[in-house]
Amino acid sequence: MLRVEGVSVRLKSMEILKDVTFELREGDLIALLGPNGSGKSTILRTLFGLLKPVNGVVYLDGKTVHGMKIQDVAKILGYLPQENSETNLRVIDVVLLGRTPYVGLTPSNKDLKIALEALELVGLKDFENRYFSELSGGEKQKVMLARIFCQQTDFLLLDEPTSHLDIRSQVEVMNIVKRMVDEGKAAIIAIHDINLAASFCNRILMVKNGRIAYAGKSSEVINPESIRDVFGVEVDVVRYNGRALVVPKDVMG
């Protein structure tokens, strides 16, 4: 279990996160929803140990994340940042970076087998010798997911894994993550598309000004009032197959 208790984070003179509390358990697929600058990425970076709270604690299987070595954290938490650097490495070499917490710079045949299986899992079988820089945006994102899966962690921290992707690639990426969660992992995803979050995630955390403003199932927290409060826009929310779907109103009014 990943447990966040009363976490506040300050960057320079500004408090970015304020008293954030929630839990991530096996089988959870949690969406972090909120406008740009609300603190979604900061939450994920803090969970992974890249940022240290000024107050509060992040517990990982009963241990404090910020008291662990980053190599040990990376064996339990897989973190996919929002922006991925371009590289001329082959796809297999990018994926094998996920084995770094275990083997350093000399992967074994076992590590290679795990990497190839991860590529097959994300639908990129036989892509191993292609160059990362030559792939489409959707293919690159799948390679980065394969790298995370190659770490064989219990928890996935994904910062906008569907950004800049067309709708088919968005659905493919979310299906991959959902399948991993169904097989026993847990994931928390910073995402902008409310409807995509409602379709795939079993819990929603809506972030406003560094605080968790609303938390619960999508049917409980996604409504015109919460969206007006968090995003400052007027919407209608309709129900389809038990899911909440957001339809923006005419912003020109």
pLDDT of 253 above 70 = no
**What are 113's two structure tokens?**
């087998």
Q: What is the pLDDT of residue 12?
A: 85
Q: Assess contact for 4 and 47: CB atoms under 8 A.
A: yes
Q: What is the pLDDT of residues 85-141, one digit of tens each?
A: 778 899 999 999 888 888 766 788 999 999 999 999 888 999 999 999 999 888 988
Q: What integer is the mean pLDDT of 221-232?
A: 94
CATH of 1-28+35-76+192-253, one of 2.60.130.10, 3.40.50.1970, 3.40.50.300, 3.60.40.10: 3.40.50.300
Q: What is the pLDDT of residue 104?
A: 65
Grade residue 251 by pLDDT with cuts at 50, 70 and 90.
low
Q: What integer is the mean pLDDT of 180-200?
A: 93
Q: What is the pLDDT of residue 121?
A: 87
Q: What is the pLDDT of residues 34-68, one digit of tens each?
A: 999 899 999 999 999 999 999 999 998 888 998 89
For the chain, the domains span 1-28+35-76+192-253
From the list 148, 134, 121, 152, the residue with the least C-alpha distance to 91 is 134
Q: What integer is the mean pLDDT of 177-203?
A: 93
How far are the Cα atoms of 6, 82, 96, 209 from residue 14, in angstroms, in the given order?
17, 22, 37, 11
Residue listed under structure tokens 């929630």 = 22
